[in-house]
Amino acid sequence: MIGIVDIGLCNLRSVEKAVYSRGGDPVFVKGAGDLKDVEKLILPGVGSFRAAMERIHDAGLYDPIRAFAAKKPVLGICLGMQLLGGWGDEGGGTKGLDLVPGKVTRLEPGAGLRVPHIGWNTVELTRPHALFEGIKPNRDFYFVHSFHLVPADPADVLGRTVHGPTFVSAVARGHVVGLQFHPEKSQANGIKIISSFLEWDG
Amino acid sequence: MLKRRIIPVQLLVNGRLVKPTRFDTWRDVGDPVKSSKVYNDQTADELVFLNIERGGRTIEPLLTLIQGVSEVCFMPLSVGGGVRTFEDAKRLILGGADKVVLNEACYRSPAVVKAISDAFGAQAVIASVDVRGADGKWACFSDCGRAEEPVTLDAHLAGLEAMGVGEVMITSIDREGTMTGYDVALLNHVTTRTALPVIGHGGCGTYEHMKEAFLGTRADALACASLFNFGDNNPLRAKAHLANSGIAFKVV
């Protein structure tokens, strides 16, 4: 089964339908008990870093997610990628899951560029990865966010995107992957990534 | 670099896809779930659905629709028309919508708009601003273009950011459904008065109208209905045409 962490207020239906459409068996994870039969975990989400971390703690999922990630594949999407980081600046600062060490800070694209960064933008891979297999270089994916994860270890960077300055739009550390864009909203290429995650051995 | 977006707008009455002119006299143009599947295959950049029923409007038709559409479309989906309360927005977002489109609520209940933005994020809130007029004199209207609002366009735009809105969709009622071209002056006015991403809407009848609006303004996205509802036009062809003018769209 493919676990989708449900920390409340966001649209999980698209992730669920995307997994289902590629032959996966999606199940929502609301507490540690739901992780029992899960082989792979997706950490989706939009919204506030602080609120999301509070919900993870309230659901008693902080340690179970970290323990899961030590053994099995985890995919963080959008806010889910940011939660993989060690620290979120937003709202006075909050500790993250610390699976991909780094800090989450606000996008500062500079004059004339808008925040939130909403729309289709190019992801340039810094190295090949199983999740991007079969996808041509420099394709566009759908972004919608105001914050981004700055990994502490450059070796964790998987992809970059330009919005004013370049920011890290994908990370991979062992079998933990984070994508700042929404594969479940990125049509054919996005669904290909979901499909590759289902097949991935981690 | 962020790409420009083309957004097919689908207007709904009784669960059917319709197309009006100047917010009036609509005709039936098909089934919204089927057309959305086609738009997905034609790599439209996102979809907007607006329920334009008059009187006694609820969110139920949108809720039914979004559940069907989210099974066949893996792209951003926005819904609006009759979204009044926090609970309305919550049900739609949990039901499969990525963004809710709010119009009247932005005039009447800024606190509700703020609450939706705080809970789901600014990116989940599009403010739809309908105006009549031209040449620097635009008046805001709500209630499907029937009620003039006392606030000026500039003051309203300024208020939207404070409410936590993430995007502005600006519609020229005078151009809507006429297929005579976007109100380029209006789009320029709005993009210089808000820091939010702007979706231009109303009047598109040819790919040349899109070219004029993309090259002549800083609009992030252009929305249209008539162009794609009638004739052999679609987002793929639109982009193929516009790419000749150096306008950058997503590469898939």
Once rounded to an integer, what is the mean pLDDT over residues A83-101?
Answer: 91
Closest partner residue to A187 among B1, B74, B123, by Cβ?
B74
* Bridge partners, residue A77, by sequence: A179
Q: Would you say A160 and A124 are in contact if contact means Cβ atoms under 8 Å apart?
A: yes
What is the ipTM metric for this complex?
A: 0.89
State the angle between helix axes of A187-199 and A13-21 in degrees (0 to 180), rounded to the nearest 10.
70
Q: Which tokens belong to B109?
A: 């209940």
pLDDT tier, A87 (very low <50, low <70, confident <90, very high otherwise): very high
A15 or B56: which leads in pLDDT: A15
Closest partner residue to B74 among A46, A140, A185, by Cβ?
A185
Q: Which tokens belong to B230?
A: 């009638």
Q: Which pLDDT value is given to residue A167? A: 97
pLDDT tier, B2 (very low <50, low <70, confident <90, very high otherwise): very high
CB pairs under 8 A between A and B: 108
pLDDT tier, A42 (very low <50, low <70, confident <90, very high otherwise): very high
Does residue A26 have a cis peptide bond before it, meaning omega lies within 30 degrees of 0?
Answer: no
Q: Give the residue from A59, A66, A69, A10 showing the smallest Cα distance to A30.
A: A59
> Does residue A30 register a pLDDT over 80?
yes
Helix, strand or coil, per DSSP, at residue B133? strand
Angle value at C-alpha B198, between B195 and B200, nearest 5 degrees: 150
Largest pairwise CA distance in chain B: 46
Closest partner residue to B96 among A11, A139, A146, by Cβ?
A11
Whether the CA torsion A94, A99, A102, A107 is positive or negative: it is negative
Instruction: Report, as residue numbers or ranges, the catalytic residues of A.
Output: 78, 182, 184
Phi/psi region, residue B245 (left: phi>0; alpha: psi -120 to 50; beta: rest), is alpha
- As a whole-number percent, the residues of chain A with pLDDT over 90 amount to 84
B64 or A92: which leads in pLDDT: B64
Q: Which pLDDT value is given to residue B99? A: 94
| A70 Cα to chain B: minimum distance (Å) | 30
pLDDT tier, B221 (very low <50, low <70, confident <90, very high otherwise): very high
- B75·A187 Cβ contact <8 A: yes
Instruction: Give B93-120 pLDDT, tens digit per residue.
Output: 999 999 999 999 999 999 999 999 988 8
Please state the separation of Cα B213 from the chain's center in Å: 15
* Bridge partners, residue B99, by sequence: B78
Phi/psi region, residue A12 (left: phi>0; alpha: psi -120 to 50; beta: rest), is alpha
CB-CB neighbors (< 8 A) of A184 in chain B: 74
Q: Which tokens belong to B125?
A: 């809130």
Q: Is B85 on the interface with A (CB under 8 A)?
A: no
A47 or A186: which leads in pLDDT: A186
The rounded distance, in Å, linking the Cα atoms of A137 and A132 is: 9
| A100 Cα to chain B: minimum distance (Å) | 24
Once rounded to an integer, what is the mean pLDDT over residues B216-234?
Answer: 92
Nearest CA in chain A to B71: A17
Instruction: Give B48-97 pLDDT, tens digit per residue.
Output: 999 999 888 899 999 999 999 999 999 999 999 999 999 999 999 999 99
The rounded distance, in Å, linking the Cα atoms of A123 and A105 is: 19
* Burial tier of B114 (Cβ tally within 10 Å: 0-12, 13-18, 19+): middle
Task: Give the number of other Cβ atoms within 10 Å of residue B123's Cβ.
Answer: 24
| A117 Cα to chain B: minimum distance (Å) | 8
Helix, strand or coil, per DSSP, at residue B42? coil
**Residue in the block written with tokens 């054919």:** A188
Q: Which tokens belong to B71?
A: 């099974």
